[in-house]
Structures are given as C-alpha cells and as structure tokens.
Structure 1
C-alpha cells in the first residue's frame, strides 16, 4: 500500500488522458480528464491539481491579463489565477455541447460548439452573448488571430470567419469532401492548416477559400498543430510527431506507443507533447532526428 500511496502522489499518472496545453508569462498548464490540471514553471517539474467534481477538461486558453480559462465537457468555464493553481467554475448558459474555447486579444472569452453556436462574454462570464449560423454542425476549433479577426472550423468541413471581432460570422467555404477538421492552425488570417482522423493535412493561403492536401510520410490521425519559431509540427496517434518541411510532412518521432498525442506547447525551449495514458514528453525542437525507430533528444517527464 505504501507503493500505491507513493504513486498516487506523483504529478503524472498513467490513468491521465491529457487534452490541451496553454501558457502565460509565468507557467505552462496542461489539462485533461477527471479534473486533472498540471502546472510547471520550468517544463521539468510539475504540480498536480484535481478540480472539484473532477470535470473532463477538453480545452484551455491564455488571456491577455495572464489568467487561464479552461472548458469542461459539462459546459463549464474554469478560470485560474496567473499561477494556474486556483480555479473557479462558471456555467455557460447554453444547451448546445461546447467543444472549444479561446480568449480574444481584447480579453473577451469565447466558446463554441453544437448547432454552429458561438458565445462570448466581455465581463468574466457574468453575461454571455450568443450567435448561431443556424447550421446543424459542431464547431470544433476557434482561434482569434487579432482583435478583429478569427477563424473557426466545423463539422462537414465548414470554414467560418469574422472580421469584426465576432459581431458577425460568415461561412466562406468548405474543406474538400466534407473533411472533418479535428485540428486547426492559422498562422495569419490568410494561411492555415487543418488535420483530421484520416491523417490528411490540408493547407490554405487564401483564408480558407481554397485548400490543397499536403503529402505526409505517415497516415496517422492528426490531433494538433504547434508552432515553434518558424517551424510547424503536427501531433498524431501512436505518439507520432511530424514536422513540415516545405510542403511535405516528415516524421520526427515515429510511432512508439498505442497512445494519442493531443496537447502541444513550446515552453522554456522545449516542445512539450502530451496525450493518453499519462504520456508527457519534452522534445528538443532543434534536434528531433529519427534514429533506429526512436526520436533522439526527447525526455519522458
């Protein structure tokens, strides 16, 4: 029993399923199932917190005031202090299932999900404004690129944009073959990438109006993108990490375990990637070389 007790006191546990990363100027925060919140100031040592009620945390974002906001599957927004270790919950007044959260550059909180629904709050969740395109589609990703510009992707390959800070949203086009966008990354309002369960990665240079599929040396499902300086990485199933080279995706960490990677963050000089079964790796983004079926310069936390 002493060994069981000691294991339960560890910050990372094999029963964890990590979902999303965020950071501010002080701390990196990783969230997952059963109310798990991990925080680190150095990408080496981690502290573990379990939120009240053990909610399933599915997304997290950092705000301009350095607070962090996380979304749980029961449509609660969880708000932390700047150290990520003191959390309160706020219920979002909607019957639609929420799937994604972001904090706009002006500090407004945004969530989105079922029935092409967006909600935002300008006063820390006290009041919410609702917008819907009245389309029976689930919004899976939402990201603000500037105070006025944001891009969202949804079921059936829908691409939604706003150019007025979310006052209105426009459907500007669709991904090829009604591709379901599981992950989205827009570097600018014009250039972006989407990935999905079939392992395809599509790229646009005109704000989502036209898309081209990029080649990849792996067919694993893609769950997340992360920018590291001028390099773009993609995370996938079986603990796979790929890097964009020109217009091709090259594997830098090949399949090593039957575990998904869904959360990613560039923090303290490391590329942090995390996913199922409590997997959290710290990769050196400058030395990710495939060697004998294993990525060098990687450390399991």
Structure 2
C-alpha cells in the first residue's frame, strides 16, 4: 500500500512538473529558467550570512569543534563553543538532517535525496560519498548478483528497479559510525546501508533488517559493539552479532520512535512522539516507560553521567534526570526555541540545534 501510494504521488509530481516546464518554456525568460534548473544534489550550498541563523536540524562535536547541519545543505562550524560560526564548503544544496563524527577529523552527514557526505578535516569541507540514485544502483547490482543466497532477492530487486525507473530517491534520516571505518546509514521504507571502509564503498542491508513491513527507520545508535535502530509502530531493532541480522523488538508503544540512545552495560533509551520515553537495561528485551513533564516530541536523549540524563523536546524544553530516567526536573534555559538536536559540551554546557540555529545553554 505504501509503495503504491508513493509511486502514484511520484507520477502526479512528474505530470505537474511537465506542465510547469511546458508553461515556462513558452516564455523566453521561463525557457531560460527551465533549461537552467539543476538538481539540489548537484548544486553546492549557497554561501550567505543567512545560513548562520537558519534552522539547524542536528549538531555534533568534532573534537573541540561544533558542527551543525540544516536546510539547503547548510553546514556551519564553530571553534569557540558557539560564540562565532563559519559556513563549511558543501557540494549539495539539499536538506541535511543528521551528523556524526567518529574522530575530531572524520565525520558524516546525511539527508534528503539519499545523500551521504564525508568530511576529513573536522567539518570544514565535505564531499559526497553516496546519493539516492547511486544507492539504488548499488542495491540493484547486489540483489541481481545474489538471487540464490538471499531470501526474496527478487522482491528487493523489483522495488529497487521501480525506484530507478521513477528516478526517485529515499532520504537517509540518521547515521552512526563505531569508528573511522565501520558505519550505518538508515532511512525511510526499510532503507539501510553499511560500510566497512569509511564510506568508500557501501552495501545494502535491507534483507537483514527484520522489517518486512518496511517501516521507516528514524534513528541508529551504538555502544560497546551493540547497534540499535528505532522507527515506526514502536519498533526497535538490535543487531545480532552472530547472525548479523537486525532482530525486531516490540516496545509498550505503537507510535513513532524518533530516536534511540545506547549506553554501556546494555542500557538503551528509546523515545519519540508525544513525550514517549522508554528505558531498557537488558539490551531491549524488556522496557519500562517513564513519564516526562511534557507531551511534546522527544528529539534527543543524552547521557551526562552515570545516572544523569538530559531529555530535549521539540517544544523547546529540556529536562534532566539524576536517577537514570525514573524522575525528571526542568532545566532553566535563557532563550528557548523549537529543538531538533543537541550535544553535550564540557563545563556543564549544552549545544542545542533548532529553529533559529544553534544556541549554547549552561546547565
């Protein structure tokens, strides 16, 4: 049902685009505009002071540097704890939604159009490692070569061929790297790819996802060799190290889980819509729900000590727990805004990415 709806919308968009191009082409100025259009995946992000205060959807630490990503390919960096920012060199102008750094120098960002960007200089310059069209071709080649080794290889191949024919791309919504070489990117409709060489090559893992319904993956997180995904319908998936399959786990919730945070010793936090917040101490086998003092979407959960947690809400609220998520108290903020991402800094400070850029708050 989801696939058919997606393809029907795509067909409608193509018709509308064709009509618009025809109308534009009938006018001299419109003809020049139509002929000059380039896809955002092939156009570098615009350099403008507006980018420094435009919405930022995620922020990460690259050593002592802060790196934030947002709309229209904007990536900004700060070397003075957020006092001043400069814009990075980015080869795409498509929305970026997640960023991570495995070291002070090596980082990755993902977003719409199935784009995967890599930086080897702490976020100042970026190169495209993968996009949705390339990802689809990789999947087609992979499932074509392995029809007997992979159950339902023909089904995965058919879906990828449909994407290729439609010239569609699926967004990647999150990225996780355990080190400079081993990482995952995940996205809508069961999209998951892995790399073992720092993103030089990528392999599709849709056949290992344990997700026959093709729910969206919203988040990927790891710790101490464990890797977890979260997504629609209250689902969490854990990578089984022996079979290398992602095993689906139910939580006491049937809504969307926007994020998952893996800590040491098997502790995992899953969170999402309407203040949903769940904790597992046994690698996701059992879950306990905690009640938060708000009903807004939970966007980020950060470990700030052995038992201390920070919970960031889209509504602009931050609460903290000193007992591992059993009880919570509010954090007073100087200048709240709608939040989408956060990262903990030293000296008791928190960098918050949101509707008006990045702000630093003392805890």
Q: TM-score, normalised by structure 2?
A: 0.68
Alpha-carbon shift at residue 157 of structure 1 (Å): 1.4
Distance 1:104 1:281, change over 3 A: same
Aligned match for 1:22, one of 60, 66, 76: 60
User: Hey, what does 1:261 align to over in structure 2?
Assistant: 339
1:198 alignment partner, SS class: helix
How many pairs are equivalent? Answer: 272
Distance 1:185 1:235 in 2: 13
Distance, in Å, in 1 between the alignment partners of 2:228 and 2:333 is 31
Structure-2 separation of matches of 1:255 and 1:42 = 19
3-state DSSP class of the match of 1:224? strand
Change (3 A) 1:106 1:67: closer
Tell me the residue number matched to 1:45.
Answer: 84
| Matched residue, 1:162 | 239
Q: How does 1:59-74 map onto structure 2 within 5 Å?
A: 59-64=98-103, 66-74=105-113
- Give the superposed CA RMSD: 2.4
**1:275 has 2:354 as partner:** yes
* Residue deviations 1:115-145 (CA, integer Å, cap 9, x gap): 3332112234332211123331111111121
- Name 2:30's counterpart in structure 1: none
**2:296 corresponds to which residue?**
220
Partner of 1:113: 187
Alignment match of 1:181 (pick from 238, 254, 257): 257
SS in structure 2 at match of 1:253? coil
Between 1:160-169 and 1:29-38, the stretch displaced more is 160-169
* Distance (whole Å) between structure 2 residues aligned to residue 275 and residue 181 of structure 1: 19
More strand by share: 1
Alignment of 1:107-256 (within 5 A): 107-132=181-206, 133=210, 134-146=212-224, 148-164=225-241, 167-171=244-248, 173-188=249-264, 190-230=266-306, 231-246=308-323, 247-253=326-332
How much does 1:189 deviate?
Answer: 5.4
The aligned residue for residue 102 of structure 1 is 176
Moved over 4 A (4+): 254-257
Bigger Cα Rg:
2
Task: Quote the offset at 1:106 in angstroms.
Answer: 5.9
Match of 1:289 in 2: none
TM-score by length of 1: 0.82
- Greater fraction of residues in helix: 2
Contact 1:18–1:32 (CA under 8 A) maintained in structure 2? yes
* Aligned CA distance change for structure 1 residues 187 and 89 (closer, same or farther; 3 Å): same
